[in-house]
Amino acid sequence: MQTLPDRKAWLQGASANCSSPPHLVAHPRRLVLLGAPGVGKGTQAEMLASKLGACHLSTGDIFRAAKGMQECLQTPALTAALQFMRRGDLVPDETVLSLVSERVKCLKCDGGFLLDGFPRTVAQAEALESLLTKHRIPLDAVVSYDLRIDRIVARLSGRRTCSTCKAVFHVEALPPKIPGICDHCGGGLYQREDDRPESVRVRMQAYETSTAPLADFYQRRGLLRSISAEGTPEEICQRTLEALQAPK
C-alpha cells in the first residue's frame, strides 16, 4: 500500500506545505463524498485515497487539528470557527467556505482529492461550485453512500466507547473480549448519548433534511453516483470504483 500525502497544507492552512509530494497519478480524481453518520464514509475515504492516490480532505480534520494549534498560527476564519464550536453552535456556511478557500491549493493538487464534510447544504455546494469554476478545477463525481435508516440505527446504537482511552467497539461487529471492558486499557465501556437509537433517528432526520436537496443539486448536474453501503468495506469500495469507471 502506498504512503499517503501528509495533508499538512490542508490541516494547517495556506502558509503550510505538505512534506510529501503528491503521487504521480495519470488521471487524478476530484470527488465529493456524501453519507450519513454510520454508513462507513470515513473508512471508504481512506480506502479510496489509497487506491486512487488522492488526498482525503476532511473539514472535520481541520477542526480537530485546530484545537491543538497555537493561536498565533490560526487564521481569522479558523479562530471564528473554533469560537462557534466552543459555544456549541454550528459553524456558518461562510466560515466553512473561508476555511476551504484558504486551502484552495489542496484542491489544485495533482494527485486529486476526496472532499469529505463539505458541502453539507445546497448553499455550500453553490459556493464550492463557484470556487472550483474560478480556479478551473473540474469536479469528476459526487459519491453518495446510502443505507437504510434501520441499518444505520443498528450500527450506531451498537457502538460502545471506552471511558478512558476512547477506543470504540461494537456489540456485534467488534465486541470486546470481556463484555463492558476495553481490550486496550481495561477501562469501562459506555454508550454515548448520541449513539442511542432515539438520538440516531433525530440525527438522521436532520441529515436527510439537508442532504436530500444536496443530492438533487448534484443529480441535476450529472455528477451524483449513489452507492449502496451494504456489505464489507472491500465490497463497497469495489462498488465505488466500478461506478466511477462507468460512463456518465
**Which residues are known to be catalytic?**
41, 120, 159, 192, 203
The phi and psi torsions of 138 (rounded to 5 degrees) equal -80, 140
Edge-to-edge strand ranges of the sheet holding 55-58? 55-58, 112-116, 29-35, 141-146, 224-228
Q: Residue 192 corresponds to which cell in the numbers above?
A: 454515548
CA distance 138 to 185: 46
The alpha carbon of 76 is separated from its chain's Cα centroid by a whole number of angstroms, namely 23
- Spatial separation of the C-alpha atoms in residues 10 and 18, rounded to whole Å: 8
